[in-house]
Amino acid sequence: MAEAQAQVAAPPQLRHHCLGLAMAAIQRGDFDAANQVLEANPDAGLTLYDVFSHCQIELETQNQELRQAQRRTESLLAWTGQLFRQIPVPALLLDELGLIQDANDRAVCDLELESTHPARGVPLRRLMASPDCEFRLQHALHGAQEGRVTVLADVQMLSLKGRQLWVTLTVVPMRERPGEFDNRLMCIVDNQTDHLEAQRAQEAATLAAQQRDFARATSEANHRLMARVSHEFRTPLNAVIGFSDLLMASPSAGGDPAAREYLSHIRDAGMNLLKLVEEVLQVNQLNGHEATAPAAQKVDLHRVAGEVVTLLNDVARRTGVTLSLESSDEPMPAIRGHARRVREVIINLVSNAIKYNLPHGWVRLVVGTVGQRVWLGVSDSGKGMTRQQLDHLFEPFNRLGAEAANLHGHGLGLVITKGLLESMDGRMSVTSTPGVGSCFVAEWPIWHEDGEPAEAEGLASPSP
């Protein structure tokens, strides 16, 4: 019985053996050898057609497996490409010459490669901001071609649109198999521009704060020194003026006209110098950080202007200038200021208008309102000022050429006036035409019973 089973099993084994030999011969292209195998084993029951059919089935199976492997490979390549695109740091693919072959989305954005994306053929050295950076890049590319990973820190780059970047470059060789290279490189760009700019901005802010504190301390020291020096000047100057008055009043000086003239010059020079010291001291007080503005008061601007006109009317008449204040038909609201400072502002403006006027000229004062502010305009028929003179109008000790006209002054009156106005939340504007005259407009906020200042609006532009 065992012998019968062996006989039954023998033909399939023989069939598989012969089929394998014949298929191997056909794959080698030796059809005669395949035919000889079949003829030498007739019990296998195989024909050359059967062998070819099995070869075809095996080839189809292999082709199907290859197609599946190709699809898996294409899917893996697509996934790898998508991964490269979405890497959260800028990355570039380079050839052995350093030409950009591809760039991920972050690199396209940071290096502004949109106009040339996928940026093929753009040399990376073109994005270097200096020859030194180009040299360092070439050294890194050479090292990467030899299999070394090279890191370049503090590299200054320029995007294709010229935006400056500070980056760290990491150049990595692309291995195809261990120990071999396909001459392609990857460059990782660590963009540190925002971090460095924030750090530099913080350093600049710290330096600015230090400089501001130093300037403030220096300014305060200068103010204190100026206050002390100006105060010390006043004592000897008052002595000079006082003794000059005594000598002029003495009987011995009465019969000597020359002596009286000399004493008069001494007294006038002392008074002039004392006024200069007082003006410098006042400017110092207005600019000093320790100075505090007086408490706000309710001031009738039209009434104060009328008092100033009455006070300076004789001065204007002696110089041949007509001084007038236009009366308002409507009641003017009170301003928020300080009575003494408001009066000083008006006196300075009117005195200047009289001093720098022409013979038989006029000075006109007008009071009006605009929004939540009250303005005072002082216009004159003087020589007027050029645009260049207006640009330097509020510079201390700059008299804009008036010293050539032998007019007394020190170039501090308008500086003081502007400082007084600003201490009361006031402002000033000036318009002037050469040969026609000038108009100075000072304005103050309207007084409110709750004492709160009104919201600032545009500077008044009246035409007195």
pLDDT tens, position by position, 84-103: 777 788 888 888 888 888 88
DSSP state letters, 288-304: -TT--PPPPEEE-HHHH
Choose between 412 and 376: higher pLDDT.
Answer: 376
Provide, rounded to the nearest whole percent, the portion of the chain with pLDDT above 90.
8
Give the CATH architecture of domain 297-445.
2-Layer Sandwich (3.30)
- 254: its two tokens: 């009465």
Name the pLDDT band for 73 (thresholds 50, 70, 90). Answer: confident
Amino acid code (one letter) for 168: T
Query: Which pLDDT does position 3 carry in this prediction?
Result: 40
Phi/psi of residue 451, nearest 5 degrees? 80, -5
**Looking at residues 205-209, what average pLDDT do you find?**
88
418 and 424 Cβ atoms separated by less than 8 Å: no
341-345-350-355 Cα dihedral, nearest 10 degrees: 110
**Burial class for 431, CB neighbours closer than 10 Å (0-12, 13-18, 19+):** middle
Residue 131: cis peptide before it, omega within 30 degrees of 0: no
Strand pairing of 362-370 and 427-433? unpaired
- Edge to edge, what strands does the sheet with 362-370 contain? 322-325, 362-370, 373-380, 437-445, 427-433
pTM assigned to the model: 0.45
What's the residue count for the chain? 464
The predicted pLDDT at position 226 comes to 65
Q: What does the pLDDT average to over 116-127?
A: 71
pLDDT at 367: 92
d(CA 238, CA 235): 5
- pLDDT tier at 234, thresholds 50, 70, 90: low
Q: Examine the pLDDT at 413 and tell me if it is beyond 80.
A: no
CB 123 within 8 A of CB 97: yes
- Please give the pLDDT value at position 438: 92
The mean pLDDT of 140-160, rounded to a whole number, is 87
> In this predicted model, what pLDDT tens digit does every residue of 314-366 receive, in sequence order?
888 988 999 999 877 778 889 998 888 888 889 889 988 998 888 889 999 99
| DSSP secondary structure code for residue 87 in this structure | -
Distance CA 95, CA 99 (A): 6
Chain-centroid distance of CA 124 in Å reads 30
Q: Which residue has the higher pLDDT, 380 or 28?
A: 380
Minimum mean pLDDT among 55-59, 105-109, 410-414: which range?
Answer: 410-414
Q: Percentage of the chain with pLDDT > 70? A: 77
pLDDT in tens, 271-316: 767 666 666 666 666 665 444 556 788 899 999 999 889 888 888 8
- Predicted local distance difference test score (pLDDT) of residue 378: 93
List of residues 6+ apart from 149 with CB closer than 8 A? 170, 171, 172, 173
Phi, psi of 282 (to 5 degrees): -70, -45
Q: Which CATH class is domain 87-191?
A: alpha beta
Q: Which of 132-136, 390-394, 412-416 has the highest mean pLDDT?
A: 132-136
Model pLDDT for residues 17-72, shown as the tens digit of each residue: 888 888 888 878 787 887 787 778 887 777 878 888 888 888 888 888 888 888 88
Contacts of 201 (CB under 8 A, 6+ apart): none
Domain boundaries, the chain: 2-84, 87-191, 199-287, 297-445
Residue of higher predicted confidence among 358 and 461 = 358
pLDDT value at residue 339: 85
Which among 10, 18, 13 has a CA at the least distance from the CA of 42? 18
Q: At what angle do helices 48-85 and 31-40 cross, to 10 degrees?
A: 130
Looking at the predicted structure, is the pLDDT value of residue 192 above 90? no
A 10 A CB-CB count for 400 gives 16
